[in-house]
Amino acid sequence: MQIVTRLIAIARARQLQRQFQQVERSISALPARTRSRLGLMTLREIGQASKCELPHLYGTAPEQRYIPWGQGTDIGFGRSKSENPEVALRGIALWLAVAYHETKDSPHTSLQPQHRQLLRVLRELRDVGSEQADATAQWMRSVAAA
C-alpha cells in the first residue's frame, strides 16, 4: 500500500509542477499593480481555505471529500486560462491557495519542492504589494508637502 501511496504522491507532484509552471508564467506576465492585487486575493483565499475543516479540499464539492486531492487546483487552473482578466486573477489566487494548503504539511518528499516554490512566489507577491504601498505613501507625502 505504501508503494501505491508513494506513486500517487509522485504523480500529483508532477501534475502540480506542470500547472505551477504555467501559473508562474501567467504571474510573470502581469504588471506590478495587478500582481499586487493578486497578492491580496491570494492572501484572502488562503485565509478562507484555512477556515475550512480540510483546507486542501477548498473549492471541492462536499460530497467529494474522500478523493486523494481536491479539485480546487484544477478549477483554479482552468479559470487562470480565462480571457476575462478578473476571472483569470481569481483562478490564479485559488490555485495558489489550494496548492499551498495541499503541499504545506505533506509527509511526501515529492511535494516539498512544490511547497518551497509556492512560498517563493507568495513572498514575491507580498514584496510587490509592499513596494506598491511604499510608493503610494511616498507619493502622498510629496503631494502633501507641495
Q: What is the tens place of the pLDDT at every residue in 58-81?
A: 766 677 666 667 788 888 999 999
pLDDT tens-place string over residues 107-144: 788 888 888 999 999 999 988 866 666 555 565 565 55
Range in 20-24, 59-63, 84-88, 105-109 with the lowest mean pLDDT: 59-63
Q: How far is CA 124 from CA 28, 46, 52, 79, 129, in A?
A: 10, 16, 26, 22, 9
Cβ(36)–Cβ(132) below 8 Å: yes
C-alpha cell at 88: 483569470
- Sign of the Cα torsion 111, 117, 123, 128 reads negative
Q: Answer yes or no: pTM beyond 0.75.
A: yes
pLDDT for position 136: 55
